[in-house]
Amino acid sequence: MQNSVQSRPTNREASSRRTFLKWLGASSAISLLPTSTPQASSGKPPTRIPTATGEIFSDQMGITSVHEHIPLPSNPAQREKSLAFAIDELKKAKTLGLQTIIDVGPTEDVVGIREVAQATGVNVVCCTGFYVLKDDQQSMTVEDFETHMRRQIEEGIQGTQIRPGVIKVATRRLPITPAEKNLFIAAARIQQRYHLPICTHAVSGCAEQQRILEAAGADLTHCYFSHIEATFGWEGRSVEQEIDYLQAVVEKGSTLSFNNFGNWNHTKPEDLALIIRELTNRGYDDRMVVTIDFTWSMENGNIKILWGDTNADGNDRTYSYPIRKVVPWLKEQGIPNRSITRFMKDNPERLFTW
Ligand SMILES: [Zn+2]
């Protein structure tokens, strides 16, 4: 299974793509997708991508969210609950057209992730790398980080044959610590060797992160920066200044990953709309992606969706939210269908095509 490549899209996949297009309000599937697809991977042949259930080709990713999570606690009862919840929510999203998610939470339960992928038919790409470093990881060297990632890529994650398809790295805040810098240098080296995209947790300082990656030889066109729209990470810049700051990052070829749709406590809706509209108008709709960063924890034995308690739309912000709510919202903000298709299909595909 692991070494086999999944077959070409089935009728069911084609029909879920039509469902997404229905949400887009496109008059016909044919009018929208073919015009944008060839440009997506710059005419490169499709790349093989490892997922939890075997390899797919990058042109089979379809509607994709490149920043999601499937958190699975180790406690057996809680794990069961989380598994059932993840399966349920992913199935709903799949019905609407979601075909692939990138799980950018370094997991301790890759077997559980495979179970979710098998039960839903959604392609789940796993990651290697690190979230915000813990205190005892602050002394790690470039070689330490490289060794960990190289092992997972070459040997599989947790004794399985499941290989990661993306590298996750994070910084907590500015200034970037020496260990965080080591992590980014290691990620750049691993990327050069294995050709995997790099996903960063940025909030603050994505340009600073990009400088480290660039100096270490990363291919910036295969790097994407997350949470860059969170206002508390702007270091005092106005939204207009922030747009210029972000433009400098996309000018170097990197991609911005937005996830605060409906999470208006972290970014005002008018600011998020302005950032996306302005960068689209300046010609960078091939450098943005839409995600929801869906995750949860367990509280008193119950699922607690992150930010679910602080937003009007909180508990509705699940895997299907981008298709159900973000697509119509983007259209209301004047973003053309063609750009929305890029955010949700072409740009993810390009990030994963080498
Ligand atoms: Zn995340």
270-302 pLDDT, tens digit per residue, is 999 999 999 999 999 999 999 999 999 999 999
H-helix or E-strand spanning residue 200: strand 198-201
Question: Residue 290, SS3?
Answer: strand
Rounded to 10°, the helix 11-24/29-40 angle is 100
How many angstroms separate the alpha carbon of residue 101 from the centre of ligand 1? 12
- The neighbourhood of ligand 1, an ion, using CB within 5 A, equals 293
Q: Assign residue 331 the CATH number of its domain.
A: 3.20.20.140
Q: What is the arithmetic mean of pLDDT over 11-20?
A: 65
Q: Would you give the end-to-end CA distance of the chain in angstroms?
A: 23
How many angstroms separate the alpha carbon of residue 300 from the centre of ligand 1? 23
Burial of 312 per CB tally in 10 Å (0-12, 13-18, 19+): exposed
H-helix or E-strand spanning residue 246: helix 239-251
Give residue-wise pLDDT tens across range 341-350. 999 999 999 9
Rounded to 10°, the helix 11-24/76-96 angle is 70
How many angstroms separate the alpha carbon of residue 292 from the centre of ligand 1? 9
How many angstroms separate the alpha carbon of residue 29 from the centre of ligand 1? 31
Q: What is the arithmetic mean of pLDDT over 15-39?
A: 53
Whose structure tokens read 């602080």?
Answer: 310
How many angstroms separate the alpha carbon of residue 318 from the centre of ligand 1? 13
Give the chain's largest Cα–Cα span: 56
Give residue-wise pLDDT tens across range 121-180. 999 999 999 999 999 999 999 999 999 999 999 999 999 999 999 999 999 999 999 999
How many angstroms separate the alpha carbon of residue 57 from the centre of ligand 1? 24
Q: Say if residues 256 and 280 touch (Cβ distance below 8 Å).
A: no
pLDDT reported for residue 3: 44
How many angstroms separate the alpha carbon of residue 293 from the centre of ligand 1? 5
The mean pLDDT of the chain is 92
How many angstroms separate the alpha carbon of residue 22 from the centre of ligand 1? 28
How many angstroms separate the alpha carbon of residue 129 from the centre of ligand 1? 13
What is the number of domains present in the chain? 1
Give a yes or no: residue 243 inside a domain. yes
How many angstroms separate the alpha carbon of residue 28 from the centre of ligand 1? 34
Give a yes or no: residue 206 inside a domain. yes
CA pair distance 168, 117, nearest whole angstrom = 20
pLDDT reported for residue 7: 56
Q: Please enumerate in sequence order all residues whose Cβ is within 8 A of that of 156, keeping only pairs 6 or more positions apart, or say none.
A: 162, 163
Q: Say if residues 104 and 143 touch (Cβ distance below 8 Å).
A: no
Per residue in 276-294, is it b (16+ CB within 10 Å) or e — as a string? bbbbbeeebbbbbbbbbbb
**Structural domain that includes position 203:** 11-351
How many angstroms separate the alpha carbon of residue 166 from the centre of ligand 1? 13
pLDDT reported for residue 34: 33
How many angstroms separate the alpha carbon of residue 289 from the centre of ligand 1? 14
Give a yes or no: residue 263 inside a domain. yes
Alpha helices in 125-225 (DSSP H): 142-155, 178-194, 206-215
How many angstroms separate the alpha carbon of residue 168 from the centre of ligand 1? 10
CA pair distance 311, 257, nearest whole angstrom = 20
How many angstroms separate the alpha carbon of residue 196 from the centre of ligand 1? 18
Give residue-wise pLDDT tens across range 260-273. 999 999 999 999 99
Q: How far is CA 313 from the centre of its chain?
A: 21
Question: Residue 128, SS3?
Answer: strand
pLDDT reported for residue 41: 52
Give a yes or no: residue 130 inside a domain. yes
How many angstroms separate the alpha carbon of residue 104 from the centre of ligand 1? 6
Predicted confidence band at 29 (pLDDT cuts at 50, 70, 90)? very low
Give a yes or no: residue 4 inside a domain. no
How many angstroms separate the alpha carbon of residue 67 from the centre of ligand 1? 6
Tokens of 51: 């997922």
How many angstroms separate the alpha carbon of residue 35 from the centre of ligand 1? 31
pLDDT reported for residue 325: 97
CA pair distance 149, 94, nearest whole angstrom = 30
Give a yes or no: residue 2 inside a domain. no
How many angstroms separate the alpha carbon of residue 230 from the centre of ligand 1? 13
pTM > 0.75 = yes
CA pair distance 339, 345, nearest whole angstrom = 10
Tokens of 343: 């955010």
> Which residues are paired to 303 by β-bridges?
298
H-helix or E-strand spanning residue 55: strand 54-57
How many angstroms separate the alpha carbon of residue 68 from the centre of ligand 1? 6
Percentage of the chain exceeding pLDDT 90: 86
H-helix or E-strand spanning residue 337: helix 337-341
How many angstroms separate the alpha carbon of residue 10 from the centre of ligand 1? 30
Tokens of 119: 């039960």
How many angstroms separate the alpha carbon of residue 298 from the centre of ligand 1? 17
Question: Residue 338, SS3?
Answer: helix
pLDDT reported for residue 331: 98
How many angstroms separate the alpha carbon of residue 266 from the centre of ligand 1? 14
Rg value, the chain, Cα: 19
Of 8-12, 216-220, 243-247, where does mean pLDDT reach its minimum? 8-12
Give residue-wise pLDDT tens across range 203-213. 999 999 999 99
Q: Say if residues 155 and 147 touch (Cβ distance below 8 Å).
A: no
Give a yes or no: residue 1 inside a domain. no
Q: Please enumerate in sequence order all residues whose Cβ is within 8 A of that of 283, keeping only pairs 6 or more positions apart, or say none.
A: none
CA angle 309, 348, 116 (to 5 degrees): 55
How many angstroms separate the alpha carbon of residue 280 from the centre of ligand 1? 24
